[in-house]
A and B are shown apart, each in its own frame.
Chain A
Amino acid sequence: MSTQPAPGQPPSPAPDFAAIKAVPFGDSALMVSLATGSVDERQSGSRKLREILLDVRPHGLLDVVAGVDSILVEFDCLAVSHGQLAQTIRLAATSRSSTGDRQAHDGKHFVIPMVVNDSFAPDLADVAAELGISTEAVLGHLEDSELTINLLASAMAPMMGSVEFPGQVSRCKEPRTNVDPGSVMVAGTNAIIQPFPGPTGWKVIGRTPLTICDIREDPPTSFKPGDTVRFKVVPDSEWERLEGQFLRTDSYVIEGNH
């Protein structure tokens, strides 16, 4: 049985779900990815696949972990086999893509203030040098980009794309062992915010005074994958007023209504 890939749904190309590769990762997981297509197509395809899986929740599915261009699908090996689950995933993906994208997720939009100074942005000069532009231009590209949260990475860190940089930003040669919470970081054309202290190899170019994840809140983050984000560089003097506030859609209002 073969299924035709769905007709293109602009702006993103239709992923070729007929070419889903599913490799056993131990007795209780499958590594699922698209076998064909460009880097961008495989990345956006795996994001779509992840949304479909979390929506359909095939029998036996326990959890999913998003990678750059793949998804780890964890399942109960007593409820379903590798082969059965792979088949269910292929069927769910092809039938969903042929019925078109239901835009179920009503995305929210966040404006996230960030402060840039020598201690908050230790890698800004490096990033500017690597891209061959000024530090002001680096921040300008970041502020001008409407970013989409693609997934929540380690400790609910929002991973966002794509920053309209003129090139790719490399990772630090030596990862930092501890980066402060709130740090705004970039790598490739992605941005991420460090929610809790911890190690990272991403380049740090600013810091938000807001608390983006707080386990005392329910849910602990206001954002979800699919939501959009715009960064706004604010003066150091704004830090104190905003410090520690929990990020919500109305945490920072541009052109101040305050």
Chain B
Amino acid sequence: MSAAERSITIKVREGAWLATFQDLGREQSEALGVPCGGAADQHSASVANILVGNPRTATGIEIMGGRFSFTTSKPVLIAVTGAPADVTVNGGKVQMWEPICVPAKGRVVIANARGGMRNYLAFSGTLVTGYFMGSSAPEARMGFPQQISAGDHVELQTSYAGFEHPYLTQPLFRLPVPIPSFERPLWTIDIVEGPETDAAHGIRELLSSREYTVTAKSNHVGLRLDGPVVHPQGLGEIVSHGVPIGAFEIPHGDELIILGRYRTLTAGYPIVAFATKASLPMLGQARPGQRMTFRWVSQEEAVDSQHEAQRLLNALETRVRSLFGAIDLPHHSRRIPAQAAA
């Protein structure tokens, strides 16, 4: 039987360059002028939650750069995903992309991220934080920054009460975790054609054959890339229209912008391509200096990739559910009896 939920205080000791509460973003907010926002790397954020038995949409912590550390007096079950980083519990190295049983009086440090921009930290249970339009994702412009700083105390409601095993203090998990590769110096990002692809003569060949470099002007609104572009001809003024995440815009200057989850929702720039849905998590990890090239795929191939990505997440979720059931760790699919007990 799962233990009743209890409240635990997470004491944040180091706050990284930027750490915020984060989830998968808002639903049905864009019709009201608010971008969906949410984790830039939705894959890593989802996996972190799945690995601790949470719903994928649960609130976690998104960490960018520097060192993030916290202590807790009670045991907690966590997972860390995203860019390769050094993760330690009480000084001992632990694996990313696995459930981690942090003992009572544990100190967890996440540092030295490399190859990508963001780490995701999930806790089994519910982090207590504010919500705006149904989501804990930051919306800084509207006065909802959600930032977590050194010295903050974050409250966690959890039914995890520690893990005991006759032989092992840390259970050996052999889970089929889909871990993206951050090692390649040159990323290949899948794209489909856009409304102005044909009007920009030569852009097809450029995007698929040349290298583009992410510049330091990039942020959660969009990635700005250095590389060869051509401006579409004979279009006249483009009336302002809605733009999806992943749109490749060529503004008046010689740069390429790939829109992120916090984009301005409408724009009138030519769009020469769209990143596929399945490639967005990787783009959410691109840091300044990252080189990338692009691969044209059909709409069918794009949807197939997304199917495959979701199939892998579903398979992982199924395995975690049965494993946690077998060793009596809390899982959100069993949360109702736990709440009834509380």
Q: At the interface, is chain B mostly helix, strand, loop or mixed? A: mixed
CB-based nearest B residue for A216? B143
Which chain B positions have C-beta within 8 A of A68?
239-241
Q: Does B246 contact A (CB under 8 A)?
A: yes
Q: Does B185 contact A (CB under 8 A)?
A: no
Q: Judge whether B264 and A154 touch: CB under 8 Å.
A: yes
Q: Beyond A31-B242, A152-B33, A154-B33, is A25–B299 a contact (Cβ under 8 Å)?
A: no
Q: Judge whether A27 and B276 touch: CB under 8 Å.
A: yes
CB within 8 Å of B: which of A218-252?
Answer: 220
Contact partner of A213 among B142, B246, B302, CB < 8 A? B142
Q: Which of B22-30, B40-48, B62-70, B154-162 contacts A (4 or more CB under 8 A)?
A: B22-30
CB within 8 Å of A: which of B197-246?
Answer: 239-244, 246
Contact partner of B30 among A64, A69, A220, CB < 8 A? A64
Q: Judge whether A26 and B241 touch: CB under 8 Å.
A: no
Tell me, rounded to whole Å, the shortest Cβ–Cβ distance linking A1 to chain B.
25
Which chain A positions have C-beta within 8 A of B306?
27, 77-78
Q: Judge whether B27 and A63 touch: CB under 8 Å.
A: yes
Q: Judge whether A157 and B303 touch: CB under 8 Å.
A: no
Q: Does B97 contact A (CB under 8 A)?
A: no
Assembly CA distance A46 to B308 (angstroms): 35
Q: Judge whether A26 and B33 touch: CB under 8 Å.
A: no
Which chain A positions have C-beta within 8 A of B34?
155-156
Tell me, rounded to whole Å, the shortest Cβ–Cβ distance linking B146 to chain A.
11
Tell me, rounded to whole Å, the shortest Cβ–Cβ distance linking B139 to chain A.
7
Digitize B151-186: 1 where CB-to-A-CB distance is under 8 Å, 0 elsewhere: 000000000000000000000000000000000000
Tell me, rounded to whole Å, the shortest Cβ–Cβ distance linking A51 to chain B.
10
Q: Judge whether A156 and B239 touch: CB under 8 Å.
A: no
Q: Judge whether A155 and B239 touch: CB under 8 Å.
A: no
CB within 8 Å of A: which of B1-56?
Answer: 27-34, 36
Which chain A positions have C-beta within 8 A of B28?
62-63
Q: Judge whether B274 and A27 touch: CB under 8 Å.
A: yes
Assembly CA distance A31 to B244 (angstroms): 10
- Per the CB 8 Å criterion, the residue count for chain A at the interface is 39
Digitize A193-205: 1 where CB-to-B-CB distance is under 8 Å, 0 elsewhere: 0011010000000
Contact partner of B242 among A66, A77, A78, CB < 8 A? A66
Which chain A positions have C-beta within 8 A of B142?
155-156, 195-196, 213, 215, 220
Which chain A positions have C-beta within 8 A of B30?
63-65, 74
Contact partner of B299 among A27, A67, A72, A220, CB < 8 A? A27
- Per the CB 8 Å criterion, the residue count for chain B at the interface is 41
Q: Does A140 contact B (CB under 8 A)?
A: no
Assembly CA distance A29 to B275 (angstroms): 12
CB within 8 Å of A: which of B255-281?
Answer: 264-266, 271, 274-277
Tell me, rounded to whole Å, the shortest Cβ–Cβ distance linking B168 to chain A.
38
Which chain A positions have C-beta within 8 A of B274?
25-27
Q: Does B195 contact A (CB under 8 A)?
A: yes
Assembly CA distance A196 to B141 (angstroms): 7
CB within 8 Å of A: which of B300-332?
Answer: 302-303, 306-307, 310
Tell me, rounded to whole Å, the shortest Cβ–Cβ distance linking A154 to chain B.
5
Which chain B positions have C-beta within 8 A of A157?
33
Q: Does A71 contact B (CB under 8 A)?
A: yes
Assembly CA distance A78 to B33 (angstroms): 25
Q: Judge whether B277 and A77 touch: CB under 8 Å.
A: yes
Contact partner of A70 among B194, B239, B275, B299, CB < 8 A? B239
Q: Judge whether B31 and A26 touch: CB under 8 Å.
A: no
Q: Does B109 contact A (CB under 8 A)?
A: no
Q: Beyond A67-B239, A215-B139, is A28–B277 a contact (Cβ under 8 Å)?
A: yes
Q: Does A23 contact B (CB under 8 A)?
A: yes
Q: Judge whether B31 and A54 touch: CB under 8 Å.
A: yes
Which chain A positions have C-beta within 8 A of B32?
152, 156
Which chain B positions have C-beta within 8 A of A198?
141
Tell me, rounded to whole Å, the shortest Cβ–Cβ distance linking A211 to chain B.
11
CB-based nearest A residue for B139? A215
Assembly CA distance A157 to B34 (angstroms): 10
CB within 8 Å of B: which of A129-156?
Answer: 151-156
Contact partner of B33 among A25, A31, A81, A151, CB < 8 A? A151
Q: Judge whether A72 and B33 touch: CB under 8 Å.
A: no
Which chain A positions have C-beta within 8 A of B310?
78
Assembly CA distance A68 to B239 (angstroms): 7
Assembly CA distance A77 to B306 (angstroms): 8
Digitize A164-203: 1 where CB-to-B-CB distance is under 8 Å, 0 elsewhere: 0000000000000000000000000000000110100000
Seed contacts A25-B244, A64-B30; 11 additional CB < 8 Å A-B pairs: A26-B276, A27-B303, A31-B242, A68-B239, A70-B242, A77-B303, A77-B306, A78-B303, A78-B310, A152-B32, A153-B266
**Interchain Cβ contacts under 8 Å between A and B, 6 examples:** A27-B277, A62-B28, A72-B241, A77-B306, A152-B32, A215-B143
Q: Which residues of B contact A (CB under 8 A)?
A: 27-34, 36, 132-133, 139, 141-144, 192, 194-195, 239-244, 246-247, 264-266, 271, 274-277, 299, 302-303, 306-307, 310
